[in-house]
Structure 1
Amino acid sequence: MNRPPSEANVMFVPASVFGITLLIGSFLASPIMGRYGRKVAHYTISVSALVGWLTTLLADSVEMILIGRIIGGLSFGLMLPLRSILIGEYTSPKNRGAFLTTISLTQGCGIFFVHLVGSLLSWRRTALVCLFLPFISLVMTLFTPESPSWLVSKGRYNECREVFHWLRGDEEDAELEAMIEARMNFEKTIRNQKKLDIIATVQKQEFYKPIILMVHVYAMGQLSGGAIIAAYATTIIELVMNPGVNSGAWMIGLDSQRIIVNTLAIFVINWFKRRTMMFSSGVLCVASHVAIVAYVYLKDQGVLSAEANWIPGILLNIQFFSVSIGMVPLPSVIAGEVFPLEYRSLAGSISQASVAGTMFLVLKTFPGLVDNVGITGTYLVYAGLLTYCLFVIMFLMPETKGKTLQEIEDGYRGVVVTEEERQSLNSIGDNGKIVSSETKS
């Protein structure tokens, strides 16, 4: 039982363990972020990731590697809701989309980096290299401030102003003062309430609408191919093209395209509105699925030559382009914008839990679908589900580009901010500050 694990044994550590612990970590993130702050949550993630990789590095049995995997899954689950929320709260509306888009880019680069290192080094040396990444994150967290949104939720208005100005300067005081005023009004509303009415909270549209929206947005990210291409890339390539194709070379090409297009998405997200990006990339993704179905069907019927690999090659690249430009980066962007401050930690965790569930279902059912209905039937099922998600998103997703988080939150509550009111808020931010009880004391 205590013998050193062989390379073969390491390969058979259940991947499903990571998904289960990821789900648990997502739910643990909410109380940590809400009660102790975003910075403490960041510390928790870095330390747990550090312990996970250290356990793997020092492992002398498969059981120890499994423990390291469990700790790593908890760390990643904790990180999922925090990353979008923290970036959304830190950044200015004009740059928020670009910063949130870097989540998918860095994740793609991380996967590419680990695969590259893992192909060159042993698993133990790979763990040693990966150990330095959470250590760097831990050191960086020492020098980062607490989120201004969390500070205002705790009534620490002076600290909130200091951090907000440190992050963004003095040019966006209108958003700062509007956020403080909204929180003070909220405190007045609940001051006379003796207990939290959970049913009333769930019935609030600013609570349930963003969650329903994000469940469908995240589902699109998985159904578009983001999950199955990563897990079954060579299988899909061979089924769409032909069994004799160099699937490894095509996989590397698609991985490289993902990094390039993810980088491009950082700039594109600032040029187009969020809804435009969502529906254009979504329609393109559905169209690529249908086109792949049509090609494979015609190939199987002998109408098209199986040797014409350039046709399915173009179709797969179109699918992967739609995934990389919109389907994968947009969920992180939207998740960092739509949740109201009061329920941001809880709603973010619930939505992220749906990611683990959807990913598990997609990855588990893909082999069975292919065996029973073929790649054509599988892609048709995905195209139908993607179309359904697009219709739901059409009715629930507001335009968030260029808006402050407070404006987005007010929009879900049904509060419309006119241009005159926005100018009035700007004058408040420029000429004065809302006085809190903390300031008076």
Structure 2
Amino acid sequence: MPLEQNEKSPIRDYKYAEVQNEDKELGHCDPKKNYSREYITTIIATLGTIVCGIQFTWMGPILPQMLSGSFKIQITMAESVWVFNLLHVGGLIGSIVASMITNHFGRKRTIVWTTIPFIISSIIRIYAETVLHYYIAQFIGGFSVGASFAVVSMYISEISSPEIRGILSTFIHFSVSVGILFVFVLGACLPIITYYYVLAIFPIIQLIFTFYLPETPYFQVMKQDYKGAEKTLRYIRKKSNVQDELNRLIEGYKEEVSEKDQTFLDLFRDRTNLKSIIIITVLTMAQQWTGATAIYGYSQVIFVDGHSSISAESCGILLALMNFAVVFLLGAVIDRFGRRVLLMVSGIVTLIPLTMLGVYFYLQDFTDFKYIEHFRLVPLIGIVFFKFSYGVGLSGIPYVLSGELFPTTVKAYASSLNSITMTAIGIVANNMYEIAFKEYNYPGVFAMFFILLVLAIIFIYFMVPETKGLTLEEIQVKLRKSNKNKIRKISN
């Protein structure tokens, strides 16, 4: 039976709520929880998303050299767009494959296998002689990017305690930022070929360490390996008595599969799952259609075109440092202020740097504004400001929610679909940027980002639920209760 709720207590009206108190009743309550192994496990799991950050941005700091013809492989702007696009095409296939194998082989093995295409991609990049080789490398690396994003968010949500699931989920964004930081620092300091060799070290490190990951207790419960699930819970929670949590996982999973086996189509047949898909899809659009894709891939070119008073290489490093630092801020506040509030604040504040950049390029390129030389730091300030405001919400929180909003029975399908959606939206984002830039130059590009972000903010306000502090089971109850209430209102 559900527990009666105190008015000041959070709503936790699901049928397994009483389990939370059993430890205290039995005298098994630990005085203080130890999350150290959850942090260590999450760090190892996200080594692959460091490589994802590298795959996303490796061309950024060296693109001006390639465009100018000073490197052995010369590339055009249109070809660079296809280099980025093929990463997303490979990601599409990787996402599909991940959804097919992660429920069969497990989350851990899938993460381990993603290292192989990363290593192959790095080797091809080292020995590349033509743009075609870059296309092949990006496609193969993209396969692991898609698979990584499909499985890592699922893995973290399934090994995390509710109290720190938010901050652990931000490690995905953090590790991507680490990869980006390495790219811009190494790209500014090393010759291109040496730069490629150093980047190839990261997927090898990933391969070595991911063998030490435990499987998630959720997957072990799915496979009815209850002893394995208990062993995993004891390890990652650093507790000797985990029976109550294990019972909750078992009962929760049985409840989810009590009616029938879940299939990919149940993502769309079930109203709650469909709502979650819509939320994640729109948040992914907000991630990639509001400037992040262009600024990640073309920041060096933007600094050059903006005639920044600081070198493009230095601007790139400062940008990467901000991108890296802001993740610590997100980790510190996400479990305090919640997902929805941070998304709203992030979106609203991000409108300011988009306006700054649009106005600056309009004054530079389309007017005779005689004081423009006094504003040459605006591209750097605007983009660093963008990275800060975007990073405290829009950048990382969609990854958090994608691991929280779906039940265990369809989570693998949902993660795959989310990754496929991210891939498709990324391809569209690259082409949107190229087309808008050709037609309207930078002012039109930043105006487009501004309008799309305003629409995203409106959606977030009305549609995105708060999941802070709730277990995965409680989130499902909250979503389903919300849908039932809406149906009731409509019928009345």
Q: Which of the five TM-score ranges fits, normalised by the shorter chain?
A: 0.7 to 0.9
Q: Deviations over 1:208-263 (max 9, x none)?
A: 11111111111111123221112222444466x55777444333322222122223
Q: Following TM superposition, by how much is the alpha carbon of 1:281 offset from its aligned partner in structure 2, in angstroms?
A: 0.5
Distance 1:146 1:209, change over 3 A: same
Indicate the residue corresponding to 1:227 in structure 2: 293
**After the TM superposition, which residues 227-376 of structure 1 pair with which residues of structure 2 at under 5 Å, given as runs?**
227-237=293-303, 246-294=311-359, 305-309=371-375, 314-376=381-443
Q: Following TM superposition, by how much is the alpha carbon of 1:333 offset from its aligned partner in structure 2, in angstroms?
A: 1.8
The one of 154, 159, 168 equivalent to 1:90 is 159
**After the TM superposition, which residues 74-113 of structure 1 pair with which residues of structure 2 at under 5 Å, given as runs?**
74-113=143-182
Percent sequence identity is: 25
Using the alignment, how far apart are the partners of 1:414 and 1:332 within structure 2? 23
Q: Is the 8 A contact 1:51 1:71 kept in 2?
A: yes
Using the alignment, how far apart are the partners of 1:205 and 1:148 within structure 2? 27
Q: Deviations over 1:112-136 (max 9, x none)?
A: 3134334544555444433332222
Q: Following TM superposition, by how much is the alpha carbon of 1:38 offset from its aligned partner in structure 2, in angstroms?
A: 0.3
Instruction: Report the AA paired with residue 8 of structure 1.
Output: K
Q: Following TM superposition, by how much is the alpha carbon of 1:146 offset from its aligned partner in structure 2, in angstroms?
A: 0.7
Using the alignment, how far apart are the partners of 1:62 and 1:374 within structure 2? 26
Instruction: Report the AA paired with residue 393 of structure 1.
Output: I
Indicate the residue corresponding to 1:184 in structure 2: 254
**After the TM superposition, which residues 355-434 of structure 1 pair with which residues of structure 2 at under 5 Å, given as runs?**
355-414=422-481
Q: Deviations over 1:155-204 (max 9, x none)?
A: 223322221221113487655432211212234322xx7xx676665221
Indicate the residue corresponding to 2:273 in structure 1: 207
Using the alignment, how far apart are the partners of 1:198 and 1:252 within structure 2? 42
Using the alignment, how far apart are the partners of 2:200 and 2:313 within structure 1? 28
Instruction: Report the AA paired with residue 230 of structure 1.
Output: Y
Q: Is the 8 A contact 2:157 2:403 kept in 1?
A: yes
Distance 1:330 1:164, change over 3 A: same
Distance 1:137 1:312, change over 3 A: closer
Unaligned 5+ segments in structure 1 are: 1-5, 417-441
SS at structure 2 position matched to 1:93: coil
Using the alignment, how far apart are the partners of 2:87 and 2:151 within structure 1? 18
Instruction: Report the AA paired with residue 340 of structure 2.
Output: R
Using the alignment, how far apart are the partners of 2:276 and 2:417 within structure 1? 11
Using the alignment, how far apart are the partners of 2:310 and 2:434 within structure 1? 20
Indicate whether 1:142 and 2:211 are aligned: yes
Using the alignment, how far apart are the partners of 1:353 and 1:101 within structure 2? 20
Indicate the residue corresponding to 1:117 in structure 2: 186
Distance 1:172 1:318, change over 3 A: farther
Q: Deviations over 1:10-44 (max 9, x none)?
A: 86785132221122111211111122110120121
Q: Is the 8 A contact 1:293 1:379 kept in 2?
A: yes
Q: Deviations over 1:84-133 (max 9, x none)?
A: 11111111122222222122222122123134334544555444433332
Q: Which moved more, 1:164-173 or 1:363-372?
A: 164-173
Unaligned 5+ segments in structure 2 are: 1-69, 484-492
Instruction: Report the AA paired with residue 273 of structure 2.
Output: F
TM-score (norm 1): 0.81
TM-score (norm 2): 0.73
Residues paired across the two proteins, number: 406
Distance 1:323 1:188, change over 3 A: closer
Q: Which moved more, 1:101-110 or 1:25-34?
A: 101-110
Q: Is the 8 A contact 2:184 2:320 kept in 1?
A: no
Instruction: Report the AA paired with residue 355 of structure 1.
Output: M
Distance 1:246 1:127, change over 3 A: closer
Indicate the residue corresponding to 1:435 in structure 2: none
SS at structure 1 position matched to 2:469: coil
Using the alignment, how far apart are the partners of 2:192 and 2:307 within structure 1? 32
Using the alignment, how far apart are the partners of 2:256 and 2:93 within structure 1? 31
Tell me the C-alpha RMSD between the 2 structures.
3.1
Distance 1:251 1:167, change over 3 A: same
Indicate the residue corresponding to 1:24 in structure 2: 93
Using the alignment, how far apart are the partners of 2:170 and 2:397 within structure 1? 7
Q: Following TM superposition, by how much is the alpha carbon of 1:141 offset from its aligned partner in structure 2, in angstroms?
A: 2.3
Q: Is the 8 A contact 2:230 2:242 kept in 1?
A: no
Using the alignment, how far apart are the partners of 2:379 and 2:192 within structure 1? 35
Indicate whether 1:41 and 2:107 are aligned: no
Indicate the residue corresponding to 2:47 in structure 1: none
Q: Deviations over 1:44-68 (max 9, x none)?
A: 1023323333454566777666544
Indicate the residue corresponding to 1:9 in structure 2: 73
